[in-house]
Amino acid sequence: MKKLLLPLLALLLTACPSQHTPSPEALPPELHDPALAAELDERFLMIYFSPYEEKANQQISLRAYTYRHDQLTLEQTLTIPLGGFPDQLMHMGQVVQPAKKLHKVYFTLANHDLYEGTFESCRLMEFDAPTGSIREILTFTQYLDSWYYYEPTHTIYAYDRKEFALVAIDPASSETKAVASFEYGEGTIHPYPVNDQRLLIFIDQEDGFFRCQINPLTGQATLTRLDQVSGISSYRNEMYVRIPPFYFENRRLTLTGPTGSRSLQDVDYGEGSFWISDDKFLVRKQDYTYHLLNTQLEVVGQFHMPGLTLWEVLDNSILVAWYQGEVRKLGLLDFELRRLTELPGINPKHMISIMNLN
């Protein structure tokens, strides 16, 4: 038995298709912008799992929503029962990754004992929606906590801790091929699909920070060490945002691009950053003030709301969450950080991830 390296936390719900009409009068005026609600057209997927159910009743639940012309519609639901497996759903990295049409869903299960602090193995699984069947793709003797399903070529890219390698996995055949290898160390991957012929995967590895450029159609890959970048907060069009953790002294935000680097000194931004266009990205201060920065690192917009959390950047808005009393609310914030509208009828409890479906 191997000692547990990191705490595992498992994270459910299911529903029937329905429609919800927003009730603006139930909100303070500033929390519902009718004009914004009328113009938005978004599709997104919410994935749920609750660890608090009896093991026999545990399941992954996926819910696909459309928000169009001020109306939220639950278009599709999918439930994956896990009661028949002795393993637990992992909760490190993107633990559940579906195809956009929800005909396939990939997830990882861990054979471990939380109370004993032991770990045996991790399994990569595939759920086939048309047949309702679940099958094992591969078993790993180390954690599989950093992986990515690339739908255009139906390939899973993962960091293999045992082989110290970025690998490509064919779910149909279970064949695994090394894309890039390292001498030692654990690693975390950060995928950025560019187009059908270019996929960028950044590897934050003990030996350094690397960029792997892959042609998914041919499998050709080029690995480059990025000496000028030591980890990234986000990436867009050859531009890297870096924000050190809060425990660093003299923290600064750095934007590195083809023409050099720019920095903001002594920032109190969190580590996360989110691009909303090719020339603007979002950061959050500790007091929950969101700043919209351009590539000159000028503040071109801001929004403050205590406890507001950014969950996902969609095509035309930003999915956010906040508390109204003790009730968790969801809403859409426009890209200029000026208008907000609530999404009624969605319970975010036990939600583990969100995916843009457009």
> What is the pLDDT, as a whole number, of residue 259?
87
Amino acid at 332: L
Residue 39 phi/psi, 5-degree rounding, is -95, -15
**What tokens does 32 get?**
């519902």
For residue 90, the 8-state DSSP code is -
- What is the mean pLDDT of the segment spanning 57-74? 93
253, 266 Cβ separation under 8 angstroms: no
Helix, strand, coil abundance in the chain, percent, nearest 5: 5, 55, 40
Give 317-351 pLDDT, tens digit per residue.
999 999 888 888 999 999 999 889 999 889 888 89
pLDDT band at 30 (very low <50, low <70, confident <90, very high): low
For residue 218, the 8-state DSSP code is T
Percentage of residues in the chain with pLDDT exceeding 90? 62
> What is the pLDDT, as a whole number, of residue 285?
92
> What is the pLDDT, as a whole number, of residue 92?
63
Element containing residue 34 per DSSP (H, E): helix 34-39
Strands (E), 25-117: 41-49, 59-68, 71-81, 88-89, 96-98, 104-113
Quote the pTM value.
Answer: 0.87
Give 283-314 pLDDT, tens digit per residue.
999 899 999 999 999 999 999 998 899 999 99
Give 241-282 pLDDT, tens digit per residue.
999 887 888 889 999 998 889 999 989 998 899 999 999 999
Instruction: Report d(CA 321, CA 348) in Å as an integer.
Output: 9
95, 59 Cβ separation under 8 angstroms: no
**Residue of 121, 133, 154 lying closest to 80 (CA atoms):** 133
Q: What is the dihedral sign for C-alpha 172, 165, 205, 110?
A: positive
242, 209 Cβ separation under 8 angstroms: no
Cα 28–chain centre separation: 30
Q: Going edge to edge, which strands form the sheet with 198-205?
A: 187-195, 198-205, 208-214, 221-225
Q: For residue 186, what are the contacts with CB-CB under 8 A and spacing of at least 6?
A: 159, 161, 205, 206
154, 171 Cβ separation under 8 angstroms: yes
Amino acid at 266: D
Instruction: Report d(CA 279, CA 284) in Å as an integer.
Output: 17
Amino acid at 132: G
DSSP string, 50-62: -TTS-GGG-EEEE
Res. 19: pLDDT tops 50: no
Amino acid at 308: L
Res. 24: pLDDT tops 80: no
Instruction: Report d(CA 33, CA 340) in Å as an integer.
Output: 6
Instruction: Report d(CA 169, CA 355) in Å as an integer.
Output: 22
Q: Tell me how far CA of residue 10 lies from CA of 15, 45, 87, in angstroms.
A: 21, 19, 11
Instruction: Report d(CA 292, CA 271) in Å as an integer.
Output: 15
* Mean pLDDT value across the chain: 86
Res. 1: pLDDT tops 70: no
**Residue of 358, 345, 357, 356 lying closest to 19 (CA atoms):** 345
Give 84-140 pLDDT, tens digit per residue.
888 888 766 678 999 999 999 999 998 877 667 777 889 999 999 999 999 999 999
> What is the pLDDT, as a whole number, of residue 331?
93
Lowest-pLDDT range of 33-37, 216-220, 348-352: 33-37
- 204, β-bridge pairs: 188, 209
> What is the pLDDT, as a whole number, of residue 37?
84
Give 156-208 pLDDT, tens digit per residue.
999 999 999 999 999 999 999 999 999 988 899 999 999 888 999 999 998 88
Res. 231: pLDDT tops 80: no
Residue 109 phi/psi, 5-degree rounding, is -115, 140
**What tokens does 246 get?**
């809060």
